[in-house]
Structure 1
Amino acid sequence: MTTVVIGEVLVDLAWHTGTAHIVPHPGGSPANVAVGLHRLGQPATLMTCWGDDPPPAFGRGDPHGDLVRAHLDSIDVQVHRLPSASGRTTIALAHLDDATGSARYDFLAAWDPQDIHLPEQAMLIHTGSLAAVVEPGATRIVDTCRAHRARPGRSVSVDLNVRPAVLPDRDAYRTRAERLVATADLVKASDEDLAWLYPGLTPEAAARALLALGPRLAVITRGAQGATALTAEHQVTVPAPPTHVVDSIGAGDAFQACLLDTLLQPDGTIRLPGTPAELEAVLRRCVLAGALTCARAGAQPPTGEEITAALTAPSPSPAPTTR
């Protein structure tokens, strides 16, 4: 049994505002989640597409497509390369605030996969980010997820990972995001994602709106303030552990990979937590995964051993908030 992650792989051009220099980091949210699952010992296949790009216009170095290929080869994740109509690799310009480690993104996006055929052993699909809204791939992803979830024992996970730069029309973005959420069993979004999609609603109210579309679990990440999990019956908030932030690239993806790893069962199905105590335990593990990633440059998710060591290290833990 395996998990299939479908979505973009790209090159982050990290612009450090304090020093005005650019550092390329191959990644992309779905690719980062696949890497995170691999490091946690979960078999995962990344279905994605990239191009054979010309060399960058600045400096010297590998073409973007070669950089992506070398990255995927180096992390030993099983990759199924989908044919792409454009033959381009998505480029993200990440403006990094050297003082806080936070990132703001602009995109030159290409997401046009063709011939998406899932392996028979696929039990869980995870997708989101640019793949949720950039056409024509977004519609193909929705169709794939809807058909997959209709099969017995199959599940779908979505991380909205909202990027307004690729679709500034808020109403159009929300419509595309909601049609994908409607195919999912669990959905994750940051408080910033929800504030942009649903202005005027609290993050909790926005998450409830997403739950009403069909998922059974919604998770809100809140950066340094931790995370909140919501089901139809329960709501739990857990604070984030203290950490030295180098940058926030890939922290949400590490959280997502840890979330899936925690919920996955040996047969490839997912078991969603049903009690406040179970929700708390899941969130505590996931916020640690995010914090460990923030302490490193670029998207470098932790291993299971690193998470376990951090969980068992003696430190005071504030009590969760439950309702």
Structure 2
Amino acid sequence: MRSRVTVVGEVLVDLLWRSGAEHVLPVPGGSPANVAVGLHRLERPVTLVTTWGDDPPGALIGAHLDAIGVEVRRAPSATDRSTLAIAYLDEDGSASYEFVAAWDPRALDVPADTAVLHTGSLALVVEPGASDVLRACRRVRERPGTAVAVDLNVRPAVQRDRAAYRAACERFAEVADVVKASDEDLAWLYPDATAEQAARDLLARGARLVVVTLGADGAFALTADAQARVPAPPVDVKDTVGAGDAFQAALLDALASAAAPASEEDRLPLPTTADELTRVLIRCVTAAAITCTRVGSDPPTAAELQSAQL
């Protein structure tokens, strides 16, 4: 039975600019890379398929991934540029972003033993890479016993045309089994709808499961036949950087742990009852909460997450 999660998407260097600080701090990151690190810490077999340039930010990225031990398949970059993000941290630790973005892999090599393919963030909207990612999702979805997961992780700074951004996200919702978004993502994409209305629209486009994070208010999940909502554990927040990625890593880990499909032609099983959804969501919000107690994207290990849930 397959158990590998393959993460396809950008790595970048965050220039963390904290309110009142005189200097910025360069930190390797990027949502897909953070998710891969989170999965690695949860002891899930994981491969990160990505690209970066042979430049100073790229050297920092490569050293970071090597030190952690994440398995990486690095695709050639058409422009040989690494992506930079400026993360402005306000006094309560919340972040807003600006990007100098490049996402132009020449090839995306997805391992054959992939159970869950995950992508999200800039990789969904920054061309020419976004079109290649969409094709990779379609190829994996044709394989039996697999699932495709997408985290919208909306970043208007890379595509300010709301209609174009929404169309890109909806294209991925049509090929995904699981779509995750924050309530802020959905409010920007669908300003005239509630978070639940927007989630049900994404569900109707083809996803089997939609998960919505609500920050300090927790998260909810919807399928065609069930729904669940859980609160977030109260914690002393240092900052929120990487919290959504830690949530996503815990979600993907749970999906990849699913039982084998009943038939060789079936998709990977997903949580289907309110109780199953609740158990998964509790684990995910706990992972996010632990990350919020630390500075920067620092997701929990399997042991830390298990201990926090006892």
**TM-score normalised to structure 1 length:** 0.91
What amino acid does structure 2 have at the position aligned with 1:273? P
Show the 5 A alignment for 1:1-323: 1=2, 2-53=4-55, 63-97=56-90, 99-265=91-257, 270-312=268-310
2:24 and 2:253 map into 1 onto residues whose CA distance is 33
| Secondary structure of 2:179 counterpart | strand
What amino acid does structure 2 have at the position aligned with 1:287? V
8 Å contact from structure 1 (residues 157, 185) kept in 2: yes
8 Å contact from structure 1 (residues 123, 268) kept in 2: no
Single out whichever of 229-238 and 71-80 deviates more from structure 2.
Answer: 229-238
Off by >4 Å, runs of 4+ in structure 1: 266-270
What amino acid does structure 2 have at the position aligned with 1:208? R
2:269 and 2:249 map into 1 onto residues whose CA distance is 15
* Structure-2 change in CA distance of 1:236 and 1:138 (3 Å): same
What is residue 320 of structure 1 aligned with on the other side? Answer: none
2:115 and 2:287 map into 1 onto residues whose CA distance is 24
8 Å contact from structure 1 (residues 51, 84) kept in 2: yes
2:104 and 2:58 map into 1 onto residues whose CA distance is 15
Q: CA RMSD in A?
A: 1.2
What amino acid does structure 2 have at the position aligned with 1:120? A
1:287 and 1:12 map into 2 onto residues whose CA distance is 24
8 Å contact from structure 2 (residues 220, 230) kept in 1: yes
Residue 3 of structure 1, CA deviation: 1.6
**TM-score normalised to structure 2 length:** 0.95
2:138 and 2:307 map into 1 onto residues whose CA distance is 38
| Secondary structure of 1:70 counterpart | helix
Determine what percentage of the aligned residue pairs are the same residue: 59
1:116 and 1:264 map into 2 onto residues whose CA distance is 21
8 Å contact from structure 1 (residues 10, 90) kept in 2: yes
* Structure-2 change in CA distance of 1:38 and 1:213 (3 Å): same
Residue 266 of structure 1, CA deviation: 6.8
| Secondary structure of 1:189 counterpart | strand
8 Å contact from structure 1 (residues 264, 271) kept in 2: no
Extract unaligned runs of 5+ from structure 1.
54-62, 313-323
8 Å contact from structure 1 (residues 3, 268) kept in 2: no
Partner deviation per Cα, 1:189-221 (whole Å, 9 max, x = no partner): 000000000011000000001001111100000
What is residue 58 of structure 1 aligned with on the other side? Answer: none
2:259 and 2:10 map into 1 onto residues whose CA distance is 27
What is residue 265 of structure 2 aligned with on the other side? Answer: none
| Secondary structure of 1:21 counterpart | coil
Single out whichever of 8-17 and 261-270 deviates more from structure 2.
Answer: 261-270
2:143 and 2:59 map into 1 onto residues whose CA distance is 37
8 Å contact from structure 1 (residues 157, 186) kept in 2: yes
8 Å contact from structure 2 (residues 53, 82) kept in 1: yes
What amino acid does structure 1 have at the position aligned with 2:46? A
8 Å contact from structure 1 (residues 159, 188) kept in 2: yes
1:281 and 1:76 map into 2 onto residues whose CA distance is 29
What amino acid does structure 2 have at the position aligned with 1:254? A
What amino acid does structure 2 have at the position aligned with 1:155? A
